[in-house]
Structure 1
Amino acid sequence: MIKIEVFESGGCCSTGVTNPEEKRASIRFAVAVSQLSQAGFDVSGYNLLSDTTKFEENEAVKEALASDPSSLPITLLNGVVVKTRSLPTNEELSEWTTMSLERLEGKGESI
């Protein structure tokens, strides 16, 4: 089974970001995560401020942060770091899960 985990820094507002471009990316990603979850994929997100233990327990995340403290967000696919410094794109999520881009964007058929 495919497992996607995203480790993000904390923020000052509900989305965790204030930059408009980053906020749009965060909203786009939230839609994609919702679609993946509804389709039965194992997708988890962790926030540094509220999920500190998850950061401390994950060796891959600790190593990534030790080598580059500005690497958040960090995305793991089946426990392996596959992306740092930005959220996964819908294209990447589609490639990793084989879910269509339309469905990831909430435009495809529902389950």
Structure 2
Amino acid sequence: MKLEFFEMTMCCSTGICGPSVDERLIKLQENIEYLKKNYEGLEIERYQPQTHSMKFMTNREVFALMKEKKKEALPITVLDKKLIKQGEYPTLEELEKAIRGE
């Protein structure tokens, strides 16, 4: 099972660098650590356009959303090539429901 986050360009994924702390990124990182500990075999990847442009172009749904909505589509969350959420990060509850197939 593979969980992918397609995100905006940022200086770091933790949310604790730059001029202000981004609480959404801190919560996302906490959720990722929780998922890694509780869902054996779950692969989690995070992509940004400046370093993973091919990932954005080769996922048809992500590419279409980016073409239509530009940066407003981000972040985009995909589980096993199925769109979970766009425009904001999913909550831990939403992630767990998707992983469990609910």
Q: TM-score, normalised by structure 1?
A: 0.72
What is the root-mean-square deviation in Å for CA atoms of aligned residues?
Answer: 2.2
1:10 and 1:16 in contact (8 A); partners too: no
Question: Residues 57-93 of structure 1: CA distance to partner in whole angstroms, max 9, x if unpaired?
Answer: 1111101112211201111122121211111111211
- Paired residues for 1:1-111 under 5 Å: 2-11=1-10, 13-15=11-13, 23-38=22-37, 39-40=39-40, 41-69=42-70, 70-98=72-100
In structure 2, C-alpha distance between the alignment counterparts of 1:83 and 1:67, rounded to whole Å: 16
Count how many residue pairs are aligned between Structure 1 and Structure 2: 95
1:87 to 1:19, Cα distance in 2 relative to 1, 3 A: farther
Cα offset for 1:49? 1.5
1:64 and 1:71 in contact (8 A); partners too: yes
Cα offset for 1:14? 2.0
Q: Which runs of 5+ in 2 are unaligned?
A: none
In structure 2, C-alpha distance between the alignment counterparts of 1:68 and 1:5, rounded to whole Å: 19
Q: Which runs of 5+ in 1 are unaligned?
A: 99-111
Secondary structure of the 1:68 match is: helix
Q: TM-score, normalised by structure 2?
A: 0.77
Secondary structure of the 1:75 match is: strand
Identity of aligned residues (%): 24
